[in-house]
Amino acid sequence: MNWKVLAAGALVIVPLIWILASGFGHDPHAIPTTTIGSPAADFALTSLEGDPVQLSKLRGKPVVLNFWSTWCGPCVGEHPLLQAAARQHPEVVFLGVLYGDEPGRARDYLKRAGSAYPTLVDESQRIVVDYGVAGVPETFFIAADGTIVEKVSGGLGQAQLLAALEKLK
Amino acid sequence: MNTPLPLLPLALALWVSPGFATPDRAAQQAGEQPSAMGATAQPAPAALPAEGDFPPAMMQAMAQRDAAQEAAAQEAPPAEEDFPPAMMQAMAERDAVQAVTATAPVEPAPQLAEAPAGPPVTDRAVIDQRAQAIAEGLRCPVCQGLSAADSQAESAIAMRTRAGDLVATGYSDAQINSYFVERYGEWVLLEPPRTGRHWLIWLGPLVLLGLGALVVAWRMTAVTKPSDAQRVGEQDDEDAYERRILDELERS
């Protein structure tokens, strides 16, 4: 076969194969994480009990910020793990943020399942966009200096949680 | 009814004695009038019977109770282990929540790190129109090929609301788009920006189309203009054909 035809074919086919291979290599539904390493957006919200909480007032302490809802299966699944971690790490401030859910339903759930830390309510859902949250659960690990050092999308596993807590030290 | 007559004087004596106090009698002794319902205020301390009025057995029981209470009070306060685990857990949870929420009065959090490019916008129609236009260029994070303007997902609604909030504060469309890109990456833009390597996406198809047109034109030229070798070959074929016809004619 003519070498010119082969070269022309390779010129078209090789880049196509490269594009397809790189495309198949990652989940098309995965949303890129861009907030790691950037300062955590400040917020001033009230808890389910009506107490005010402001992130900037907690500067100097590492913070774990967990977006969750009662209708989300993985959120309910990781709840006991987060509760246990909050009790074992009193030096870390754990905060929940209710996402697309009724405060009353969340109160009922926490009454049954236990609550070792406050859950915050944001009617405007502004904090959801400020943190680039696409769905729940999503958990942000904020170092004492206010920088986001880790973000976990989806239900937390024990090893994953411990590794992320290590990054806060 | 059948009370034996010898016990009547004893019962009368007990009833008359100050130690046998009914509420009404105690109130009368304290100088109050009994109510119609028989319920009065608590008797004044002065109306309490003296210790000597109690029977000895009762006095002894009271002394034993007081001694037991004093002994219990002198013991060490209950340790944490003495409380039920559920109560301990509830107390710890309450303390943890109070430690976080017991902060100074809340100050409003700033909007963005940079200042708004323009003055605040108060016209609701303008805010909604600009927020809608911005949302049309943003990808809904949890949808398949839908813009944030077309989706009713929680995150899409939150994005529209936030865009309107930022428009009202005075941020420009470019600033608001940058805000979303900083949080979700360039992935969030339905239309890639015309900058840097993104030009490859915009110009790549045009370049490929041009290359394809060149190839087609070259091939068409090659077909319509036969090469010298092809022309020589064709001439040789014609000569052989003529020779064959002439040979056939000569034979016939």
Least Cα distance to A94 among A140, A60, A129, A154 occurs for A140
Query: Which region holds residue B4: left if phi is over 0, alpha if psi is between -120 and 50, else beta?
Result: beta
Interface check for B239 against chain A (CB to CB < 8 A): the answer is no
pLDDT over threshold 50, residue B32: no
The pLDDT score that the predictor gives to residue B200 is 81
Interface check for B109 against chain A (CB to CB < 8 A): the answer is yes
* B96, B107, B158 member nearest A129 (Cβ): B158
CA-to-CA distance for B58 and B20, rounded, in angstroms? 14
The predicted-structure confidence for B103-161, as pLDDT tens digits, reads as follows 555 555 556 778 899 999 999 999 999 999 999 999 998 888 899 999 999 889 999 99
**A35 chain-B contacts, CB cut-off 8 A:** 182-183
Task: Determine, for residues B184 and A34 on separate chains, whether the beta-carbon distance falls below 8 Å.
Answer: yes
The pLDDT score that the predictor gives to residue B19 is 44
Task: Determine, for residues A53 and B103 on separate chains, whether the beta-carbon distance falls below 8 Å.
Answer: yes
The pLDDT score that the predictor gives to residue B114 is 85
Least Cα distance to A150 among A135, A138, A136 occurs for A138
Q: Are A94 and A66 in contact (CB under 8 A)?
A: yes
pLDDT over threshold 90, residue A169: no
Task: Determine, for residues A118 and B100 on separate chains, whether the beta-carbon distance falls below 8 Å.
Answer: yes
Return the H-helix or E-strand segment holding B80.
Answer: none
The pLDDT score that the predictor gives to residue B180 is 94
Q: C-alpha distances in angstroms, A15 versus A21, A22, A26, B169? A: 10, 11, 18, 46
Q: How confident is the model at residue B52 (pLDDT cuts 50, 70, 90)?
A: low
Q: Are B183 and B148 in contact (CB under 8 A)?
A: no
Q: Are B27 and B33 in contact (CB under 8 A)?
A: yes
The predicted-structure confidence for A135-168, as pLDDT tens digits, reads as follows 899 999 999 999 999 999 999 999 999 999 999 9
The pLDDT score that the predictor gives to residue A58 is 92
Domain parsing of chain A, residue ranges:
35-167
* CATH of segment(s) B124-188: 1.10.8.640
Task: Determine, for residues B97 and A51 on separate chains, whether the beta-carbon distance falls below 8 Å.
Answer: yes
ipTM confidence? 0.84
Domain parsing of chain B, residue ranges:
19-44, 124-188, 198-251
**A38 chain-B contacts, CB cut-off 8 A:** 182
Q: Are A45 and A107 in contact (CB under 8 A)?
A: no
**A41 chain-B contacts, CB cut-off 8 A:** 109
Interface check for B89 against chain A (CB to CB < 8 A): the answer is yes
Terminal C-alpha separation, chain B: 170
CA-to-CA distance for B160 and B151, rounded, in angstroms? 10
**A34 chain-B contacts, CB cut-off 8 A:** 181-185
Amino acid at A9: G
Mean pLDDT of A35-51: 92
Q: C-alpha distances in angstroms, A47 versus A97, A123, A129, B102, B145? A: 9, 12, 19, 12, 35
Q: Are B109 and A44 in contact (CB under 8 A)?
A: yes
CA-to-CA distance for A114 and A109, rounded, in angstroms? 8
Q: How confident is the model at residue B79 (pLDDT cuts 50, 70, 90)?
A: low
pLDDT over threshold 90, residue B46: no
Q: How confident is the model at residue B42 (pLDDT cuts 50, 70, 90)?
A: very low
Q: Cβ contacts of residue A148 below 8 Å, gap of 6+? A: A35, A36, A37, A38, A39, A40, A140, A141, A142
pLDDT over threshold 50, residue B72: yes
Q: Are A126 and B165 in contact (CB under 8 A)?
A: yes
Average pLDDT, chain B: 75
Mean pLDDT of B27-50: 45
User: Which residues of A touch chain B, with CB atoms under 8 Å apart?
Assistant: 8, 31-35, 38, 41-44, 47, 49, 51-58, 86-87, 90, 93-95, 99-100, 114-118, 124-126, 128-135
* A38, A56, A126 member nearest B165 (Cβ): A126
CA-to-CA distance for B56 and B90, rounded, in angstroms? 47
**B107 chain-A contacts, CB cut-off 8 A:** 44, 54
Mean pLDDT of B80-86: 67
CA-to-CA distance for A53 and B176, rounded, in angstroms? 26
Mean pLDDT of B73-83: 62
Interface check for B162 against chain A (CB to CB < 8 A): the answer is yes
Fold (CATH) for A35-167:
Glutaredoxin (3.40.30)
pLDDT over 90 percentage in chain B:
27
Query: Which region holds residue B170: left if phi is over 0, alpha if psi is between -120 and 50, else beta?
Result: left
pTM here is: 0.65
The predicted-structure confidence for A59-89, as pLDDT tens digits, reads as follows 999 999 999 999 999 999 999 999 999 999 9
